[in-house]
Amino acid sequence: MTSLLALLISLVSAAWAEAPDLHFAKAGDFKFTVVHSNSLDADQLEIRRGNQLVELRTSIARYEIGRSSEMSPDTLLKVGQDLSNSGSPHVVVYESSSSGRHFVTHVWRLGETAELLGSFDEMAGFERDSKNGRWKVITGDFAFQSWRAGPNFSFIPEVRLVWRPDANRFCVDSTSMRAQAPETKELDQLIADTLKSMGEYDAVDGKIAQMNETLLKLIYSGNAATAEKVFDRTFPGGEDRNQYRIELSEILSRSRYWPELLVAGFAAPQF
């Protein structure tokens, strides 16, 4: 299980005990209802405004209508919360695969109609900096899933998104993703911890998967130069550095978030 995926699931699971019925939600004039179809052996998500059916979706497994709890009660995501700061209520729907191992998070805004604002891999979390601050979507760059490790063990770098009215979509919030580069002493400790984690694995891919966690955290916090230093001191000897660079470049090229990060001044390390 990736550390990010575990965090996102914990953010959602922490509120289930207090959550409303996962098969029904009402916000304004809209009603979201999940009905199981025995003939399809799947859930159907009905969105109605009054008696009018606005949309009907059939999942390959099931839908859940819920809310996600964050670090403090002040950031509890409730059905009807205004996630795009537009003055309209929203509903979050989690769609799962038949195995229950893969989720997609859908965010709907309710106005004249039900508008799907965005869909995100896995169980996205939600948080805001203050009680009345802007909501952020906490997801991950799942382009890295299964890189040098199984899907439940590969590291997924965290990505934060905010709603931008000018773009009419959720965009990468590069400001909140940036972090200060570690000082020399902190960097030495980071490298020592990374090498210790790598030493717990005999297989090369296991070692590299551990190294990836450190490198990707640095890259996705705007610290590519520091990632280069860590790479030089932790990459397993005898392995093909150029092949690793090619793999990283290919994954970034198909990332849905990396182009925005590049525009914001983030950079890929030059290994």
pLDDT tens per residue across span 1-45: 556 655 555 544 443 334 445 578 888 899 999 888 888 778 889
Of 121-135, 147-161, 205-219, 238-252, least confident by mean pLDDT is: 121-135
Look at residue 8 in the predicted model and tell me its pLDDT.
53
Look at residue 4 in the predicted model and tell me its pLDDT.
64
Look at residue 15 in the predicted model and tell me its pLDDT.
38
- How much is the average pLDDT of 196-219? 95
Bridge-based pairing of strands 90-96 and 103-110 is antiparallel
Look at residue 24 in the predicted model and tell me its pLDDT.
83
- Which residues, 6 or more positions from 200, have their beta carbon under 8 angstroms from its beta carbon? 206, 210
The whole model's pTM is what?
0.84
Which stretches of the chain are assigned E, i.e. beta strand? Answer: 24-27, 30-37, 42-49, 52-58, 62-65, 90-96, 103-110, 114-121, 125-128, 135-140, 158-164, 169-172
Look at residue 74 in the predicted model and tell me its pLDDT.
46
Taking each helix axis as running N to C, give the angle between helix 204-219 and helix 224-234, from 0 to 180 degrees, rounded to the nearest 10: 160
Look at residue 23 in the predicted model and tell me its pLDDT.
79
Nearest CA to 106 among 66, 135, 148?
A: 66
Average pLDDT, the chain: 86
- How much is the average pLDDT of 247-265? 97
Which range, 100-114, 116-130, 182-196, has the best average confidence (pLDDT)?
182-196
- Which residues, 6 or more positions from 132, have their beta carbon under 8 angstroms from its beta carbon? none
Of 91-105, 128-142, 208-222, 229-243, least confident by mean pLDDT is: 91-105
The band of 71, judged by pLDDT with boundaries at 50, 70 and 90, is very low
CB 234 within 8 A of CB 211: yes
Q: 180 or 130: whose pLDDT is higher? A: 180
Structure-token pair, residue 79? 């059905």
Look at residue 25 in the predicted model and tell me its pLDDT.
85
Look at residue 59 in the predicted model and tell me its pLDDT.
78
3-state DSSP call for residue 79?
A: coil
Mind listing the pLDDT tens digit for each residue in 148-202?
A: 888 778 999 999 999 999 999 999 999 999 999 999 999 999 999 999 999 999 9
Structure-token pair, residue 220? 């996705």
Q: Is the pLDDT of residue 64 over 70?
A: yes
Look at residue 66 in the predicted model and tell me its pLDDT.
64
